[in-house]
Structure 1
Amino acid sequence: MVAEDDDKQAELIRRYLEREGHTVTHARDGLSVLERVRHHEPDLLILDVMMPRADGLDVIRVLRAESRELPVLMLTARSTEDDLLLGLDLGADDYMTKPYSPRELMARVRTLLRRARAPPGARGAPPPAPAPPRRGGARPREPRGPGVGLGGVAGAGPPRPAPPTPPPPPPGGWRPGAAPGGRGGAPGGGRGPAPPPEPEPALRVGALTVDPGRHEVGIDGVAVECTPGEFRLLAAMAAEPDRVFSRQRLLEELHGFDRYISTRTVDVHVMNLRKKIERSPRRPVRLLTVFGVGYKLTDPERGRGGPRSGHRG
């Protein structure tokens, strides 16, 4: 769906989308967008911010409050930092500022649709490693059915003796070779169900705590609300404090390997995080910029003789 009150802009976007095989609907105001999405949810919403009756930010706010997870690409003539942060905070998946390239817009649409249609956990997952070769390069033997000899003909080989029947267990249910208190079986067997995996420990960088298991962030024991994207960036850097992360590396934490998402998205998330974890966002002491490279997370108290940071609690 294209939500754009400028008919010329909407027609241009529609032509490019239809050229790629998409069916396109058009809405000229925010209330019409909400009505149409509730009636039939589209695969993706291209949403202009400045629209009559209800602007694009209000539309995103309502859609996310209704737990609608359709991808939203925001188009805006506003280029200020606060406007971009607000759009991402409300739940926009990507944004482009006007004027924009229609070809780049289509590339971002393809990326958002591909990510939305991928099964959970599939995005950015490496292919499975091939099985290690057998010693000497021999091919693995294929199983033979009963009575199949070396020549592959039934009855060509000598008959195989049947395996011995194990003796019945003694009274009490315990078998020789079973672990004490187990249920019997081969030596070392008899184990009960595997214990549940231990929760992932919290990451601590000075006064900052990032708990991946609980999906919680805190500063000096005070909870900090983070969006999913902000949490992924913070957890990645908290796992390796003082390491410098390039924008491209952080972009992979956000969106896998989708190369059409701009690294500017990382800058916006970092600026938003600084407003939440720094006392003075304009003079950060935790989330630092390494000019020409990227960002790093550090403990400001460590250089003052405080406790060593970066450990797991």
Structure 2
Amino acid sequence: MARVLVVDDDATVRDVVGRYLVDAGHTVDLAADGPSGMRAVRERRPDALVLDLMLPGTGGLDVCRELRASGDDVPIVILSALGEESDRVLGLELGADDYVTKPFSPRELVLRVGLVLRRTQPAPDAGLLVDGGLRVDPAARSATLDGVPLALTTREFDLLVYLMRHPGHAFTRGELLKLVWGWDFGDQSTVTVHVRRLREKIETDPTQPRRVATIWGTGYRYDPVGA
């Protein structure tokens, strides 16, 4: 179904996660640290990456930062311990698409990986979305602003498409968590982080957004700027 790279310094975690992913039909590559994980990405680019934050030497945040800085949009699901909330949020800010908190259920992790992978598949019947200089093609999973390609992560792209398809509708963070992420519950700061990152890429002035407006006491709304 897909090639998944698991990067974790715990051999037991690698073995268990790898077996569950294989049972789900995926091809799995394993790496024990950041440098070997980066080499694996370059040599046999995965369809998704499961990345532990607390790696020896080059940590998971460094790997995430380097991949996104290079323009690599491989979907990343980060693994974080309960006491690493700030690192988890930073991981999302650096461009991770999802996270699972340790200790975790391997079945839940496989489900999260599957959801991220499904969201990377093109939607053949999806029409082009245009708002002034912003053009989004859901079928090709590509977006440009004034003709310049936008480097959007999987979740950022999904969020933008959903908001553009529902202009003028105010959504709570909880609603977006369910409608875009497919989660019935979870840390709503995930939505806040992705909205912030999206604004940095599509707004002229992210501190005074015109397209993705904050509706105080409610959540967010997409306001087209027009031609």
TM-score after normalising by structure 2: 0.67
Shift of the 273–42 alpha-carbon distance from structure 1 to 2, 3 Å rule, reads: closer
Shift of the 231–94 alpha-carbon distance from structure 1 to 2, 3 Å rule, reads: closer
Structure 1 residues 1-313: aligned runs within 5 Å:
1-78=5-82, 81-116=85-120, 118-119=121-122, 121-122=123-124, 125=126, 200-201=131-132, 212-213=134-135, 215=145, 228=156, 232=160, 236=164, 239-240=167-168, 243-245=170-172, 247-249=174-176, 251-252=178-179, 254-255=180-181, 259=182, 261=183, 264=186, 266-270=188-192, 273=195, 277=207, 286-290=214-218, 295-296=219-220, 312=225
Greater RCO (Cα-Cα under 8 Å, separation 6 or more): 2
Query: Structure 2: which amino acid aligns with 1:16?
Result: Y
Shift of 1:262: 6.0
Do the aligned partners of 1:230 and 1:269 also contact (CA within 8 Å) in 2?
A: no
Aligned counterparts of 2:45 and 2:224: Cα–Cα separation in 1: 45
Query: Structure 1: which amino acid aligns with 2:92?
Result: L
- The number of aligned residues is 194
Aligned CA RMSD, in angstroms, stands at 3.8
Shift of the 250–239 alpha-carbon distance from structure 1 to 2, 3 Å rule, reads: farther
Query: Structure 2: which amino acid aligns with 1:268?
Result: T
Do the aligned partners of 1:84 and 1:268 also contact (CA within 8 Å) in 2?
A: no
Query: After superposition, what is the alpha-carbon deviation per residue over 1:9-58, rounded to whole angstroms, capped at 9, x for unaligned?
Result: 11111121122232322111101101121111122211100001210111
Q: Which ranges in structure 2 are unaligned for 5 or more consecutive residues?
A: 136-143, 147-151, 198-205
Do the aligned partners of 1:16 and 1:102 also contact (CA within 8 Å) in 2?
A: yes
Shift of 1:100: 1.1
The range that moved more, 22-31 or 266-275, is 266-275
Shift of the 30–84 alpha-carbon distance from structure 1 to 2, 3 Å rule, reads: same
Do the aligned partners of 2:79 and 2:100 also contact (CA within 8 Å) in 1?
A: yes
SS at match of 2:93: helix
| Structure (1/2) with the larger strand percentage | 2
| Structure (1/2) with the larger helix percentage | 2
Q: Percent identity?
A: 33
TM-score after normalising by structure 1: 0.50
1:169 corresponds in structure 2 to none
Q: Which has the larger radius of gyration?
A: 1
